[in-house]
Structure 1
Amino acid sequence: MTARTTTTSTHRDLQVLVVDDDFRVASIHADIVAGVDGFEVQATVGTCAEARAELATRPPDLVLADVYLPDGDGIELVRGSSTDAFVLSAAVEAATVRRALTAGVHAYLVKPFTRQSLVERLDRFLRFRRITGTPHPMKQEEIDRALAAMHGTSQPVTAAGNSTEDLVLGALGTGERSATEVAELTGVSRATAQRRLSALAGRGVVTVRLRYGSSGRPEHLYARSTGVGW
């Protein structure tokens, strides 16, 4: 059994519909999804007709679709569904990729891809959905965080910009937050948030306090240092 990638969350699992006519490939993709915390496989189907029936009965949160299906085109399936989607396909023609992007897919992975490639996209999508899941009107900074979460902000931080540290520091506000909470608010990975917070703490810009939970394992809480300008 695949080890499940875990994160701390109080959100419901996102339901995923896997659409691929190769049963073995569909099973592999479903296995990857099932191994990522925050996601649950709703169903695996092999045709557009089966996918449309599933979409009509139980609209999922995310569709993972191949392009070439026995009875139709996975991109057009996505385009007509108004459901968040990834395309997972061996199709590499530029026109096909452009068509998928104009259909609104959040990711395009070329088969065969590594397990980690899909896991990383799912992790980004989870953060994207948590940011955009608010019932309230979104502010521009929230929209920017959502886009950064989904499409990645892996550029190195420069001395001139320090954009990631600015983002992390802004997420602290006036209270205390863990690296996991900062990651969810900013759209960066937890590892990135942890590195930036540690660097800020090393320069005295933020303070660190340990909080002990019921498990006995301490959690680091970060807060802006009083009287330190930025």
Structure 2
Amino acid sequence: MDFTVTVIDDDFRVAGIHADIVDSTPGFRLLSSARSLGEARQLMVADPPDLILVDVYLPDGDGIEFARRAAADALILSSAADADTVHRAFQAGALAYLIKPFSGKQLTDRLNGYQRFRQALSAGGDLTQEKVDQARAVLSDSATPVARPARAATEQLLLDTLGSAEMTATELAERTGVSRATAQRRLADLAGQGSVIIRLRYGQSGRPEHLYSRAE
């Protein structure tokens, strides 16, 4: 199931760019696009999104306060770079803050991080503190790791998903929400650490398939 997104920006060109990035990111679908908070309210009442991408300064109000009250997760996208505004955004519950102008890859990385965040919290029952910390860490984990803790969180997610089973990198990628390339890279690291065992499965023809399982 795709995560639905509403883009809120008074600049129609910028909104269009962000909408295109959303629609081109696997696992996401643009639900609506609004030029004002009033328009966004109407759209979201009729069709509530999972996630909003909202600017701070809008013609009819403050995007951060809108995000605080919205019944949706929020990423703040703004040219405001002062510490007070950024702090206020996170205080309001924003999951990420991107300072304009930013690259398409940066937004894609935040969307992918959000997807992993939701995946990490999708398991039923109570969560451990480790699971909560892991969910927060994967929000900022991208194809270009910035810090070791975020990378470790993705590796732990792969290990937890493996459990006592044996899976391919593709199966693990689908279940955890990370890309197949990231899953393969992290599994290789885990194998080098001795945490994962790799077994080759030979089929009727073609190259052997790599199967991964947790080491005892």
TM-score, length of structure 1 as denominator length: 0.77
Q: Secondary structure at the match of 1:145?
A: helix
| Alpha-carbon shift at residue 147 of structure 1 (Å) | 1.3
Amino acid at match of 1:115: G
Q: Secondary structure at the match of 2:112?
A: helix
Aligned counterpart, 2:162 = 172
Aligned counterpart, 1:208 = 199
Between the aligned residues of both structures, percent identity stands at 49
1:82 aligns with 2:89: no
Q: Please state which structure has a larger fraction of its residues in helix.
A: 2
| Alpha-carbon shift at residue 172 of structure 1 (Å) | 2.5
Aligned counterpart, 1:155 = 147
1:222 aligns with 2:207: no
| Alpha-carbon shift at residue 218 of structure 1 (Å) | 6.8
Counterpart contact for 2:115–2:177, Cα < 8 Å: no
Change over 3 Å in CA distance of 1:57–1:65 after alignment to 2: same
| Alpha-carbon shift at residue 223 of structure 1 (Å) | 1.4
Counterpart contact for 1:18–1:26, Cα < 8 Å: yes
TM-score, length of structure 2 as denominator length: 0.82
Q: Distance in 1 between matches of 2:67 and 2:190?
A: 43
- Residue correspondences, number: 208
Uncovered stretches (5+) of structure 1, i.e. residues with no partner: 1-11
Q: Distance in 2 between matches of 1:211 and 1:136?
A: 38
* Aligned counterpart for 2:16 among listed residues 8, 20, 27: 27
The aligned runs of 1:2-21 (5 Å cut-off) are 12-21=1-10
Q: Secondary structure at the match of 2:166?
A: coil
RMSD: 2.9
Counterpart contact for 2:169–2:211, Cα < 8 Å: yes
| Alpha-carbon shift at residue 200 of structure 1 (Å) | 4.3
Q: Distance in 2 between matches of 1:135 and 1:170?
A: 14
Q: Distance in 2 between matches of 1:139 and 1:44?
A: 37
Aligned counterpart, 1:99 = 88
Q: Secondary structure at the match of 2:167?
A: coil
